[in-house]
């Protein structure tokens, strides 16, 4: 997608006075026990995405609704108006509105309430992914980093502005959405926007931890989920030698689909090497854009080694940079698979079939956009300059709902507590100091962007 241009509006941006900033910080401190309690309750509620691979809807349905409800209750307590949006009545998004005094720009802060499926739930040090535990300044539990803590930071920021008596000019919205982990944005983020809850700027509070915690990230990678099906010719395992040795009958004795799949993996590794130099972006670390063969299945239809496999499937996660179209990426991969197939007598006749399951678009807001600058200014005010002279923005090393907010023409930044390295992993945790730091920055940035009455 293209870079969203800077708006024409360039009036001088009001900033909180020192006394107002102190009032916000004091309010965050006073509200923190209640916010921590909220975060524990949210993490303690199983809200695994009901469409996540391997999950049965009946086991988890309703969790997302409970979590968005908890956040809504907290914000209703600060006087925000709560609106449910639910294309699927069992998966309720909630929007909290803090009306502005008028004359300022509006801002929406978005976070998802669903989580991935728990990785090895029996092996967590907390005994369960849904047993929130605070240890050494960290809160452990599934969804702590990705991204219930981000939502709590946003709620804390809004509640603190109210408690500090700071009236924004523009409206502040908090969107607690379902379905992000399976890109079901039409049930979550996009549904909320299409219900009329839009704004002039957006912040998605996903964990932005690269290169340091709470990095402002105006761009995010795009990705593809791709499966490649490869056909073989199943025969008795005793045909292995004749099928591959010189002078034997070759393909007539059988073809092992598993090894044909490996040829394709090798060809795509070659393309990935090329991408190391051909796919670069200043906001991302060298070599980030890649083709990961994450899943490989192959057999003869029975789970036995006594056959040559007649089917194999490779599942890929493909990361590509802003500035490349999805079509361009698809063409490059298809051409490379085609080239590899042409080199092999069997695959030439039985070409691999590519299934493009999903495409997550890139996020691409201009780092110079005033919304981005608002966040950078307030991050610097609260935490100081980026260490080691690092750039004041960096890419988000994943994809998120900011892409779908941008698709509605809303400039969007990714910024939130937590560490992406521990998202989707066993013993996921968030550093609690990041949750309050994020709240301090979000409250200030909202004041800067929306204006203060
Ligand atoms: Zn997330």
* Domain boundaries along the sequence of the chain: 18-220+362-450, 222-359
> Measuring CA to CA, which residue among 439, 438, 427 is closest to residue 143?
427
Q: How far is the CA of 48 from the centre of ligand 1 (A)?
A: 12
Q: How far is the CA of 419 from the centre of ligand 1 (A)?
A: 11
Q: How far is the CA of 274 from the centre of ligand 1 (A)?
A: 29
Q: How far is the CA of 260 from the centre of ligand 1 (A)?
A: 35
The pLDDT tens digits along the chain (453 residues) read 444 444 434 444 558 999 999 999 999 999 999 999 999 999 999 999 999 999 999 999 999 999 999 999 999 999 999 999 999 999 999 999 999 999 999 999 999 999 999 989 999 999 999 999 999 999 999 999 999 999 999 999 999 999 999 999 999 999 999 999 999 999 999 999 999 999 999 999 999 999 999 999 999 999 999 999 999 999 999 999 999 999 999 999 999 999 999 999 999 999 999 999 999 999 999 899 999 999 999 999 998 999 999 999 999 999 999 999 999 999 999 999 999 999 999 999 999 999 999 999 999 999 999 999 999 999 999 999 999 989 999 999 999 999 999 999 999 999 999 999 999 999 999 999 999 999 999 999 999 999 999
CA distance 140 to 81: 31
Q: How far is the CA of 179 from the centre of ligand 1 (A)?
A: 10
Task: Output phi, psi for 395, to 5 deg.
Answer: -75, 150
CA distance 119 to 129: 9
Report the CATH architecture of 18-220+362-450.
3-Layer(aba) Sandwich (3.40)
Q: How far is the CA of 400 from the centre of ligand 1 (A)?
A: 7
Residue 384: CB atoms within 10 Å: 8
- Fold classification of 222-359 is Alpha-Beta Plaits (3.30.70)
Helix (H, G, I), strand (E, B) or coil at 395: coil
Q: How far is the CA of 278 from the centre of ligand 1 (A)?
A: 28
Rounded to the nearest 10°, the torsion over CA 415, 419, 425, 431 is -110
Q: Are 137 and 40 in contact (CB under 8 A)?
A: no
Element (H, E) at 39: helix 18-43
Whole-number Cα distances in Å, 122 to 128, 131, 426, 438: 7, 12, 10, 32
Q: How far is the CA of 222 from the centre of ligand 1 (A)?
A: 14
Dihedral of alpha carbons 247, 251, 254, 260, sign:
positive
């Amino acid at each position: 997608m293209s870079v969203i241009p800077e708006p024409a509006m360039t009036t001088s941006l009001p900033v909180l006075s020192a006394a107002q900033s102190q009032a916000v910080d004091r309010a965050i401190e006073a509200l923190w026990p209640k916010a921590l309690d909220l975060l524990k309750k949210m993490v303690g509620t199983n809200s695994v995405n009901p469409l996540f691979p391997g999950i049965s809807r009946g086991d988890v349905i309703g969790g997302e609704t409970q979590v968005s409800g908890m956040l809504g209750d907290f914000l209703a307590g600060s006087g925000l108006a709560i609106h449910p949006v639910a294309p699927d009545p069992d998966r309720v998004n909630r929007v909290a509105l803090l009306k502005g005094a008028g004359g300022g720009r509006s801002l929406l802060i978005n976070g998802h309430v669903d989580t991935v499926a728990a990785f090895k739930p029996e092996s967590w040090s907390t005994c369960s992914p849904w047993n929130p535990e605070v240890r050494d300044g960290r809160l452990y539990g599934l969804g702590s980093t990705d991204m219930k803590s981000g939502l709590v930071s946003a709620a804390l920021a809004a509640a603190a502005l109210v408690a500090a008596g700071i009236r924004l000019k523009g409206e502040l919205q908090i969107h607690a959405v379902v379905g992000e982990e399976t890109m079901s944005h039409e049930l979550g983020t996009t549904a909320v926007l299409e219900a009329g809850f839009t704004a002039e700027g957006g912040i998605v509070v996903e964990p932005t931890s690269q290169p340091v915690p709470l990095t402002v990230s105006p761009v995010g990678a795009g990705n593809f989920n791709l499966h490649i099906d490869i056909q073989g010719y199943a025969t008795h395992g005793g045909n292995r030698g004749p099928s591959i040795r010189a002078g034997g009958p070759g393909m007539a004795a059988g073809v092992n689909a598993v090894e044909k799949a490996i040829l394709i993996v090798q060809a795509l590794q070659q393309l990935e090497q090329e991408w190391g130099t051909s796919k670069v972006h200043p906001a991302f670390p060298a070599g980030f854009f890649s083709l990961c063969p994450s899943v490989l299945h192959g057999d003869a239809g029975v789970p036995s080694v006594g056959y040559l496999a007649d089917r194999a499937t490779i599942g890929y996660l493909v990361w590509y940079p802003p500035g490349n179209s999805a079509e361009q990426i698809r063409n490059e991969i298809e051409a490379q698979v085609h080239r590899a197939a042409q080199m092999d007598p069997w695959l030439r006749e039985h070409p691999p079939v590519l299934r493009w399951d999903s495409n997550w678009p890139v996020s691409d807001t201009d780092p110079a956009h005033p919304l981005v600058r608002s966040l950078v200014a307030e991050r610097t005010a609260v935490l100081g300059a980026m260490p080691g002279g690092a750039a004041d923005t960096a890419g988000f090393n994943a994809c998120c709902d900011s892409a779908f907010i941008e698709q509605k023409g809303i400039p969007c930044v990714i910024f939130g507590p937590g560490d992406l390295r521990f998202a989707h992993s066993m013993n996921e945790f968030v550093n609690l100091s990041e949750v309050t730091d994020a709240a301090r920055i979000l409250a200030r940035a909202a004041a800067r962007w929306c204006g203060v009455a």
